[in-house]
Amino acid sequence: MATLSATEILADTLDAFTTEVPILSSFSTDLSSARAVQNSIILAHIAVLPTVQTYVEANGGFANGATGAQNLLQDVPVTMNQLPHVPTQVAYLQTIASQKDLYKEAIRYPAYVLGKYVIDYCLTLINGTGGNNFSNKLVQSLANSDLGTIEAVRSLLNTNHASPRGRFGIFSTGFAQSLQDDQRMMSALFYDMRNSDSALRVFKNVAGFSCLYEYPDFNANGVNLSAIFGDRRAFTVATRIPELGAFAGNPLDVPEIAKFTVVEDPNSGISLLGISWIVQGTFDMNLTTTFLFGATAGNQGTGAGNKTDNAAVYVTTQ
């Protein structure tokens, strides 16, 4: 315990973050180790299709109706307004007296709740208490939520020209149980689903969806939500390292009372900032793990059909 560095602790935290919350990989992400200040805006971009023109010599020939290259990309502003952190304390005397591996326990669950916080925040943006960012809805009771529901969503996404690749679904436990009860989902003759080794139900490669996830904390958002389906454009998540302010780099050469450590996962690109310090007298070690993030969903409150509104369909029970 005495030789553990903040870098080692953060590396393990990062590993837990990326393995415990696989749903995040279904969203569009801009995961960077660059620094940003809270409430700053990051601009993501989505492609916009140009318009086919008819050749008319009198109207400029091949130059007729040309679309400016800058207009083929649409801005998707992401406000970096979320700064969650998870403080942890490893007591010096406790590490001496205890035979338990307090270090691993201390970092595993803060990492999980950080990832879960991102997912929970994104889901509040669907429609209801957190915003009204998607206009495409399907009404289906939990009892009748089955493969037919998934196929109906598939058709609606196809009609709205959603991306055919990287589609995902996230739904409540009640929706997942009803889906599991559909024999077509369990039969090798249909989709060869086998998820008995996982407590949470995950269905892969079903009806054009790469992954369908059960999420027990799926919030009804006050409008009886039970599921959200879409492609990667439905949600955009951007992460940054919070700017330390005017004293970043310690320009006045003030004696340091805390250590700031940044660790980046080369596989996912997620970076976390660790701030650690020792309490004088008790020698307890305090560590807080944090990052700055923002997220957008669908039309971002601009109305039906705008931005990435058609990238998702949500399901309600009434």
Q: pLDDT digit string (tens) for 229-245?
A: 999 999 999 989 888 65
Per-residue pLDDT of 34-65, as tens digits, reads 889 889 998 877 776 676 877 788 877 788 77
Q: Is residue 49 part of a domain?
A: no
Distance CA 100, CA 295 (A): 38
pLDDT cut 90: percent of the chain above it: 29
We report the CATH number of the domain holding residue 98 as: 3.90.1690
Q: Is residue 121 part of a domain?
A: yes
Distance CA 199, CA 134 (A): 30
**202's tokens:** 């995950």
Q: Is residue 53 part of a domain?
A: no
Q: How confident is the model at residue 310 (pLDDT cuts 50, 70, 90)?
A: very high
Q: Is residue 300 part of a domain?
A: yes
Span of 60-69, 88-97, 132-141 with lowest mean pLDDT: 88-97
Q: Is residue 69 part of a domain?
A: no
For 168, residues 6+ apart whose C-beta sits below 8 A from its C-beta are 23, 26, 209, 210, 211, 212, 213, 229, 230, 231, 232
DSSP-derived pairing of the beta strands 85-90 and 285-290: antiparallel
Q: Check whether 114 has a pLDDT greater than 90.
A: no
Determine the structural domain holding residue 175 and report its residue range. Answer: 1-43+79-318
* For range 265-278, the mean pLDDT: 76
**75's tokens:** 């801005």
Number of domains into which the chain is organized: 1
> 297 versus 54: which is more confidently predicted?
297
User: Which amino acid appears at position 21 of this protein?
Assistant: V
> 179 versus 32: which is more confidently predicted?
179
Q: Is residue 318 part of a domain?
A: yes
Q: Is residue 66 part of a domain?
A: no
Q: Check whether 9 has a pLDDT greater than 80.
A: no
Q: Is residue 301 part of a domain?
A: yes
**pTM given for the model:** 0.80
